[in-house]
C-alpha cells in the first residue's frame, strides 16, 4: 500500500509579517531553514524515507524539500497542482491592511470568500489538490508498497485533507497546518493524522 505524507514549507518573512503569500515566490528565512532541518530529523527518526517526492514549483517549498530530505530538486517531481492558493491582488499585503471584512470572510465563511481578479476560491483549491492526490494515490497497484512525500503550502494542504476526508468545506480552517508540519494520509481509509505539529508564526 502506498504511504502518503504531506510536508508544509518552513517559515518565510511574509509568514511573520502576516501577509497572504499565495503564488508570490518567496524564500525561507533562517528560522524556516532550521525548521526544515528539524523536520529532516523527524523524518529520519521515524524512518520516513520517500521513494517519490512531489513538490510545489515555488522556491520556499523546493528549498524545504531539499533540506528535509537531503535530495536535490532534480531528484523530485515539480508538481503544479501543489502550488499555493492564488490570492490575486491581495498577495503581499499585510492582512490588517486588506479591505474590511475580507479576512473574516476568508477564515470564518471560507466557502463564500470571493477571490479578487484571477485569484482562487476555497473550492478551486479543494478540487485542484484533491484531483492530484487521487491521481498519485491510485496510480500504483494495490499491492505496491512505497512512500510518497508531497511538499506544499498551508491552504493547498488544507485542500488535500478536506478532499480526502470529504469534510464540509466550511470547516476548511478548523485544523492546523503549521510550518514544516508532517501529516500522514490514509487514502484508503479517508483520514489523516498529524505526526509532527510544526511551528506557528
Global pTM value: 0.96
Residue pLDDT tens, the chain, 201 long: 689 999 999 999 999 999 999 999 999 999 999 999 999 999 999 999 999 999 999 999 999 999 999 999 999 999 999 999 999 999 999 999 999 999 999 999 999 998 888 899 999 999 999 999 999 999 877 677 899 999 999 999 999 999 999 999 999 999 999 999 999 999 999 999 999 999 997
Q: Tell me the CATH number for domain 3-196.
A: 3.40.50.1240
Percentage with pLDDT > 70 across the chain: 99
Q: 151-169 pLDDT, tens per residue?
A: 999 999 999 999 999 999 9
Residue pair 22/87 in contact (Cβ under 8 Å)? The answer is yes
With beta carbons less than 8 A apart as the criterion, state whether 51 and 148 touch. yes
| In the chain, domain spans | 3-196
| Region of 24 on the Ramachandran plot (φ > 0 left; ψ -120 to 50 alpha; else beta) | beta
Provide the pLDDT for residue 121: 94
**Are 109 and 102 a contacting pair, CB within 8 Å?**
no
Amino acid at each position: 500500500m502506498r504511504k502518503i505524507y504531506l510536508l508544509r514549507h518552513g517559515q518565510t518573512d511574509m509568514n511573520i509579517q502576516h501577509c497572504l503569500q499565495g503564488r508570490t515566490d518567496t524564500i525561507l528565512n533562517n528560522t524556516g531553514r532550521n525548521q526544515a532541518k528539524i523536520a529532516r530529523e523527524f523524518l529520519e527518526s521515524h524512518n520516513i524515507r520517500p521513494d517519490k517526492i512531489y513538490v510545489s514549483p515555488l522556491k520556499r517549498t523546493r528549498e524545504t524539500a531539499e533540506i528535509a530530505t537531503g535530495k536535490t530538486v532534480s531528484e523530485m517531481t515539480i508538481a503544479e497542482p501543489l502550488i499555493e492558493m492564488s490570492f490575486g491582488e491581495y498577495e503581499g499585503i499585510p492582512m490588517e491592511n486588506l479591505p474590511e471584512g475580507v479576512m473574516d470572510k476568508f477564515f470564518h465563511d471560507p466557502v463564500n470568500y470571493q477571490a479578487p481578479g484571477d485569484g482562487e476560491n476555497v473550492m478551486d483549491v479543494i478540487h485542484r489538490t484533491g484531483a492530484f492526490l487521487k491521481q498519485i494515490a491510485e496510480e500504483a497497484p494495490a499491492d505496491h508498497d512505497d512512500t510518497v512525500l508531497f511538499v506544499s503550502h498551508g491552504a493547498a494542504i488544507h485542500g488535500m485533507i478536506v478532499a480526502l476526508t470529504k469534510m464540509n468545506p466550511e470547516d476548511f480552517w478548523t485544523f492546523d497546518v503549521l510550518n514544516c508540519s508532517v501529516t500522514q494520509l490514509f487514502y484508503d481509509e479517508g483520514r489523516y493524522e498529524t505526526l509532527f505539529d510544526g511551528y506557528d508564526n
